[in-house]
Structure 1
Amino acid sequence: MVQPSNSVSSDSTSNNNNKNNIDIYNIVTLVLDIALLIFKFWISIFESIVKTFVPQEIDVKGQTVLITGTGHGIGKELALQYSALGAKLICWDVNEESNQQTVKDIKAYGGEAYAYTCNVTKREEINALAEKVKKEHGFINIVVNNAGIMPCHPILEHTETEIRTMYEINVLAHFWIIQAFLPDMLVRNEGHFVALSSCAGIFGVPNLVPYCGTKYAVRGLMEALSEELRHKNPQNNIKFTTIYPYMVDTGLCKRPRFRFPSLLHLVKPTDAAASIIRAQRTSIEHASIPRTWLHLDKFGRLLPRNAMRLLTDFLDFGVDSDK
């Protein structure tokens, strides 16, 4: 009978020792990673609490802010309020007359603003205008994708053209504008994108099915883009803020419905704009208007679906058909 050689036995013992050493190393590494995770986790919680109660607002004086949909409503109020803070405004809107009026209003108070007519459903037009703006005004520090439309009626009453146009303005325009201005931000590793979603991007609302779809899409694209850049560059300093306004009194919401008007009512455009600018200047990633809506939604999703429906039926708020 052939006996195992001493060299084979020695190799086997050596391999077992190496395996044991690797196992110990992996366990120690895992324990250290968990300890570091716990430490960073609580540091992050502490920083978030401090920022909540002691927010630090970034100064936008001297920065260049581009806003879409500045001819009326929230867009116009954003332009006026950013200008009051000392920013230079680049105003985009499809309506040349109303957009020029916004610029005149800003200049009347000594602000600096420039009007450009743009149909954000046209990617080629966006790209051409973006290049023109960058040549004339340099780096764009803040881009606010605000333009949007909101037809209000049941899904079967929406036409194909209406739905396609809604997605082109409310969603696709965000992609084209981001692609136009993000490269310069990547080079400088700075900049801020603000996107207007809606409370209809947090929960579904009858008579707003396509609109809700567009606003959920905005939330998804902003979250995914933020994560993509974070993974690509851990030192990424480009910021993203997504806003979820409740119904704002801009004329888009033609037939709002409230059972308790003192509790749930239309938000003034001036108040909405002020909240948006505050969220941007304090680098909040997600902010609803009023701020409590996001927290209420998170709480509501912990409840059984039917229980939450009972509460929303009791409050009886929403949008009636505009037809």
Structure 2
Amino acid sequence: MIEREIIHTTTASKRLFDVLQDVVQFLLLFLRIFLEMFVMLIQKALPKRLKDISGEVVLITGTGHGIGRELALHYASLGSTVICVDINEKNNLQTVQKAKRLNLGDVHSFICDVSKREQVMALADRVKAEVGPISVLINNVGIMPTHPILQQSAEEIQRVFDVNVFSQFWTIQAFLSHMEEKNRGHIIALSSIAGVVGLSNLVPYCATKFAVRGLMEALHEELREGPYRNMIKTTTIFPYMTNTGLCKHPKVKFPSILGLLDPKEVAMRIVEAHRSDALEVTIPSCLLHINNWTRLLPDHCGLMLKDYIDSGVESDLI
């Protein structure tokens, strides 16, 4: 009887100790979160400190036109070594020629279908042999068929996933070892505002851009918990509709506020996000905050806001 009482008392004491330990850990977590928010508010009030990227070796996919071309020009203007990768040799060479006229960073052209894993793996070997290991990977390439789901062919859906999602898996697998070799690196992925909010006529495209968001969030955790913590960083970019030709029939209710973005402006914001080590950035920056707050509201409130903004794309089959 006495032994049972002793065991019961010991068990109760252990439970109390465990509860107190959990409470203390929660309070410490709350304190750390509060301090982090305080530091972020201070940083917001101070001028941004942007890191120097003049010595980086930057590989960009989809540099034949649009945002990819502007990124190549912007990085070259900052003195980075730029590796331009595209499936279209003529367009890619035009980008390289424009970048070389800046007479700043070295610029190289490589032709590759990044949706093909074997081509990407071969590309990684060629780049390492001819230029050296890269330190920055920018997964920019993407395609965007814009019509209703029942009018999307099986080939179209497969292709949009191959280009928008699987290419990013292949490039990360191929070039992460370059960054490990250097003990530093940065992986930047272009998702889209369609990776934050679902839109009609873009069901497969939205699915790929949501996939990119999940890929990058999980990759960040894997790198954060692994041996290269704080040495290899990630940034995910969510641009609003950009005037690159992908949006064939844009639908914009408030063009003065939410008109199509200029690719040069988008490229500048992406480089700024890279240089400030931002984790996630929407362009414009307010869209991520609007989305996060809207998702706290009842579903119908979010739908009412979406109907009021009334932006998206019309079918390209009209």
Q: If the length of structure 1 is used for normalisation, what is the TM-score? A: 0.91
SS state at 1:262 partner: helix
**One-letter identity of the residue aligned with 1:135:** A
Matched, 1:170 2:161: no
Q: Percent identity?
A: 44
Aligned to 2:184: 190
Do 1:96 and 1:117's aligned partners in 2 also have CA atoms closer than 8 Å? Answer: yes
1:67 is the counterpart of 2:60: yes
**Helix, strand or coil: the match of 2:110?**
strand
Equivalences for residues 84-233 of structure 1 within 5 A: 84-111=77-104, 112-233=106-227
Letter in 2 for 1:84: S
Distance in 2 separating the partners of 1:51 and 1:182: 30
Distance 1:156 1:21, change over 3 A: closer
1:58 to 44, 51, 70: 51
Q: Could you tell me which of 217, 233, 237 is aligned with 1:243?
A: 237
Indicate the residue corresponding to 2:284 in structure 1: 290
Residue 225 of structure 2 aligns with an amino acid whose one-letter code is H
Letter of the 1:41 counterpart? I
2:61 counterpart letter in structure 1: T
SS at match of 2:138: strand
Secondary structure in 1 matching 2:84: strand
Question: What is the CA–CA distance in structure 2 between the aligned matches of 1:34 and 1:321, rounded to whole Å?
Answer: 50
Question: Which residue, 26, 34, 54 being the options, matches 2:26?
Answer: 34
Contact preservation (8 Å) 2:137, 2:187: yes
Equivalent residue number for residue 76 of structure 2? 83
Question: How many residue pairs are counted as aligned between the two chains?
Answer: 315
Distance, in Å, in 2 between the alignment partners of 1:155 and 1:25 is: 57
Residue 206 of structure 1 aligns to a residue in which SS? coil
2:8 & 2:300 partners in 1: Cα distance?
58
Q: CA deviation at 1:121?
A: 1.4
CA offset at residue 267 of structure 1? 0.2
1:268 aligns with 2:262: yes
> In structure 2, do the counterparts of structure 1 residues 309 and 15 end up closer, same or farther at CA, with 3 Å as the change threshold?
closer
SS state at 1:144 partner: strand
Distance 2:113 2:14 in 1: 61
| Matching residue's letter, 2:18 | N
2: CA distance, partners of 1:26 / 1:257:
57
Q: Does 1:280 align with 2:274?
A: yes
- In structure 1, give the amino acid aligned to 2:132: G
Q: Please, which runs of 5 or more residues in structure 1 have no aligned partner?
A: none
Write the deviation string for residues 147-192 of structure 1: whole angstroms up to 9, x where unpaired.
0001111111111111111000000000010111113334544211
Question: Would you say 1:43 and 2:44 are equivalent positions?
Answer: no
Structure 1: how far apart are the matches of 2:215 and 2:22?
Answer: 33
TM-score when normalising by structure 2: 0.92
Q: C-alpha displacement at 1:233, in angstroms?
A: 4.4
8 Å CA contact retained: 2:180, 2:228:
no
Q: Which residue of 2 is the match for residue 312 of structure 1?
A: 306
Report the alpha carbon displacement of residue 278 of structure 1 after superposing the two structures with TM: 0.7
The CA deviation at 1:14 is 6.5
Structure of larger gyration radius: 1
Decide whether the 8 Å contact of 1:166 with 1:211 is kept in 2. Answer: yes
Aligned-pair CA distance for 1:266: 0.6
SS at 2:58's partner residue?
strand
Q: Which residue of 2 aligns with 1:252?
A: 246
Greater CA drift, 299-308 or 56-65: 299-308
For 2:300 and 2:27, locate their aligned partners in 1 and report how far apart those are by CA, in whole Å: 41
Whether the aligned pair in 1 keeps the contact of 2:183 and 2:228 (CA below 8 Å) is no
Q: What is the deviation of 1:23? A: 4.4
Q: CA RMSD in A?
A: 2.0
Residues 189 and 236 of structure 1 are in contact (CA less than 8 Å); yes or no, is this contact kept in structure 2? no
